[in-house]
Amino acid sequence: MLTGKQKRFLRAEAHHLAPIFQVGKGGVNDAMIKQIREVLEARELIKVRILDNCEEDKHDVAQALATGTRAELVQLIGLTVILYKESRNNKKIVLPKVVTK
């Protein structure tokens, strides 16, 4: 689970990224989940665009993507979903440490 500080950090990191995937009329499917999982392993942080013709609710789409890829939903802003998943072999992003009191 990400802290607020980590989410802010990831949002800043994702700011300059372009959406790699688009969810359209067909919604979220297994092939898309598989592809996104592979890209997350390589990149850790990605944006997914939900197109206007997508018939599902954007919150449901964002949750389905996060659950299906086992990634953290960093943010849903407008129709853009930001997903983060720590890479096993390709770690690039160092998250701010969690300070426990």
For 11-63, what is each residue's pLDDT tens digit? Answer: 999 999 999 999 999 999 999 999 999 999 999 999 999 999 999 999 999 99
- Cβ atoms of 92 and 84 within 8 Å: the answer is no
Q: From CA 85, how far away is CA 11, in angstroms rounded?
A: 13
Query: What does pTM read for this prediction?
Result: 0.91
Question: Domains in the chain and their CATH numbers?
Answer: 4-84 (3.30.110.60)
